[in-house]
Structure 1
């Protein structure tokens, strides 16, 4: 079965492929627009971006399943937190969603985000590595490498695929 991944980001692609490596899938990846802000600022917007990526990827391929992954930030009573969402869609119109780990962002990062900068750019400048979003990501920096962007998205993919295997529709979309 063909599975399309709605991104060209290596960390996200590897998260999907490595998580589902034992499944009889052929993987392809396509550039898929999120349809949300370049820097999503809520769980809802981040989730919508993941759903949009998956739905778009499915429409431009002959795949049976599509996966979209989106990172963002969520404003909470304790400040901005990193958030991550994934969506899986099927050719029959089903949609499954899952969210990943959350972690508070440093105050200086929060200030730059509120000034309109993107998290990937901020972290790239802090670490002097502008490809950080394709590697360990902000979560990797903030956890001293204990959790990477790929492993965080892998957790989300496991939840998505588990819902698919369980064969239920948690909500209509």
Structure 2
């Protein structure tokens, strides 16, 4: 990949946002969220970035760490970008069962950081049991719902809401919330 350095950008040029994943859903929702939040265009690219957590993170701490690591590792690979975004989906349990969520972590060229968490939703027992046995959520969904690579399309949330909320829309709001410090630089 060859990108222009920020100091060479003209006002009309797009700023570069790197997403620590090659998942097309994560790249697309990041582009949509940044465009909406800043009311301008961005060049958004995905790169493989190591999360440093298990394929299926469990709990807030592990999931947020995965998102942070993806953003930081993206910055290490290509420090010339303007923003680096980590998106990590996780699961946890409470008295009502196993639920899914994601953390978003954003680093800015100016050193500013932002983070936000998606809403949570509970998983069916059959899916939760497979995840408890060590299967990654996307693979468990594919097996139970007879899908193929669902995590690169609607994901669990899309399957369970019958497409009313797809994975892209689910992440998009949290990305915008993680951008609050960048949208309000004078108070953050």
TM exceeds 0.5?
Answer: yes
Give, in whole Å, the separation in 1 of the partners of 2:183 and 2:63. Answer: 24
* 1:127 shift after superposition: 2.5
Give, in whole Å, the separation in 2 of the partners of 1:163 and 1:124. Answer: 37
Whether the 8 Å contact between 1:58 and 1:64 is mirrored in structure 2 is no
Of 120, 127, 135 in structure 2, the residue corresponding to residue 109 of structure 1 is: 127
Q: Are 2:82 and 1:64 aligned?
A: yes
Q: Which has the larger radius of gyration?
A: 2
Report how many residues are paired.
169
Whether the 8 Å contact between 2:27 and 2:44 is mirrored in structure 1 is no
Q: Report Cα offsets for 1:43-88 as digits up to 9, x if no partner.
A: 1111111111011111111102111101110122212101111000
* 1:26 shift after superposition: 2.1
Segment drifting more, 60-69 vs 25-34: 25-34
Q: Are 2:68 and 1:51 aligned?
A: yes
Determine the structure 1 residue equivalent to 2:161.
143
Which consecutive aligned stretches of 4+ in structure 1 deviate over 6 angstroms post-superposition? none
* 1:120 shift after superposition: 0.5
Determine the structure 1 residue equivalent to 2:11.
none
Give, in whole Å, the separation in 1 of the partners of 2:178 and 2:53. Answer: 21
Output the TM-score relative to the length of structure 2.
Answer: 0.84
Residue ranges of structure 1 left out of the alignment (5+ in a row): none
Give, in whole Å, the separation in 2 of the partners of 1:6 and 1:108. Answer: 30
Whether the 8 Å contact between 2:139 and 2:149 is mirrored in structure 1 is no
Whether the 8 Å contact between 1:58 and 1:91 is mirrored in structure 2 is no
CA root-mean-square deviation: 1.4
Give, in whole Å, the separation in 2 of the partners of 1:141 and 1:25. Answer: 30
